[in-house]
Amino acid sequence: MNKGSKLYEGKAKIIYETKDKNLVIQHFKDDATAFNNLKKANVEGKGVLNNRISEFIYTNLSQCGIKTHLIRRLNMREQLIRKAEIFPIEFIVRNIATGSLTKRLGISEGTILENPLLEYCYKKDELNDPLISKEHIYSFGWATKNELEIIDKTSLRINDLLTGMFRAVGIKLVDFKIEYGKAWNKDTEKSEIVLADEISPDTCRLWDAKTEKKLDKDRFRKDLGNIVQAYQEVAKRLGIMPEETNISEVNFGKTIPIKFKKK
């Protein structure tokens, strides 16, 4: 699949067009950002690992009936995906209280939530992705009631499937962020809601089940070091590693700070 011109560049990924108007290429970069771009670094090897981990997760979810944008992984950094009109909402699912939830509501760190908690944030960097309610979503036409019902149900199902997948390899799925879009289905000739973006240690909180060691982007956010080693640990436990690479020969794990401004 030939790569056309760049359609969009985000913090961690680039989207390129292809000759097919319904398909695009998603390229995973090594850039890591946190605190709305205030902290930035280049984490060598992160893009390769996220591409592979996200492909593995989307393939498994798809086998369980979840509609996703993934067609196939093309190479170490790229996936062929369905072009989707992304809802301007980050959908967050939480199983254990941490991060912004504990800060916002004073809930004790590590509290196990009786039921998974769904939250919505408006995808707007300039506003720091603020928390919103269903009423905001309906008022501003960001999704319809019917669309949100489908998305909520799908998000809870994804949480069940991923919780089981990670528990089987000794990892607690603490919380995660997902995105959805509307993509064209050429068989039904209708657009349908699909899971978009990525699911990787960049977008989830993953704790070792025994030690609660963080195996996710919090290693970068909190300056805990060994970011790539933690992502590799997740890939290893899931039984996947970038097969085209002899990982021991690649200088994974080097973190090159780009810029760090205090808030």
Strands, E assignment, 179-226:
180-185, 190-195, 204-208
Instruction: Return phi, psi of residue 126, to 5°.
Output: -60, -25
* Closest distance to ligand 5GP from the beta carbon of 256 (Å): 19
How far apart CA 53 and CA 235 sit, in angstroms, is 6
Shortest Å distance, C-beta 100 to ligand 5GP = 3
Strand duo 78-82 + 112-122: pairing = unpaired
Minimum distance of ligand 5GP from residue 175's CB (angstroms): 4
Do 124 and 150 meet the contact criterion of CB atoms below 8 Å apart? no
CB nearer to ligand 5GP: pick between 14 and 250? 14
Residues whose CB falls within 8 Å of the CB of residue 108, separated by 6 or more in sequence, listed in order:
97, 102
219 binds ligand 5GP (CB under 6 A): no
d(CA 261, CA 259): 7
Site for ligand 5GP in 180-209 (CB under 6 A): 202-205
State yes or no: residue 83 binds ligand 5GP (CB under 6 A): no
Of 10 and 225, nearer to ligand 5GP (C-beta) is: 10
At its nearest, how many Å lie between ligand 5GP and the CB of residue 54? Answer: 12
DSSP 148: H
Among 13, 27, 83, 177, binds ligand 5GP (CB under 6 A): 177
DSSP for 47-114 reads HHHHHHHHHHHHHHHHHTT--BSEEEE-SSSEEEEE-EEE-SEEEEEEEE--HHHHHHH-PPTTPEEE
Q: Among 217, 230, 238, 255, which residue sits at the site for ligand 5GP (rule: CB under 6 A)?
A: 217
Q: Per-residue contact track with ligand 5GP, 114 to 153, x per CB under 6 A?
A: ---------------x------------------------
- Decide whether 13 or 182 has the Cβ nearer to ligand 5GP: 13
Q: How far is the CB of 185 from ligand 5GP (least distance, A)?
A: 27
Least distance from ligand 5GP to the Cβ atom of residue 21, Å: 28
Q: Which of residues 92-121 bind ligand 5GP (CB under 6 A)?
A: 92, 99-101
- What are the Cα distances from residue 168, in Å, to 42, 161, 165, 250, 255? 31, 11, 5, 29, 30
Q: Which is nearer to ligand 5GP, 204 or 234 (CB)?
A: 204
- CB of residue 37 to ligand 5GP, shortest distance in Å: 10
Cβ-proximal residue to ligand 5GP, closest one: 99
d(CA 143, CA 217): 29
DSSP per-residue codes, 217-239? THHHHTT---HHHHHHHHHHHTT
Binding site for ligand 5GP (CB under 6 A): 90, 92, 99-101, 129, 175-177, 202-205, 217
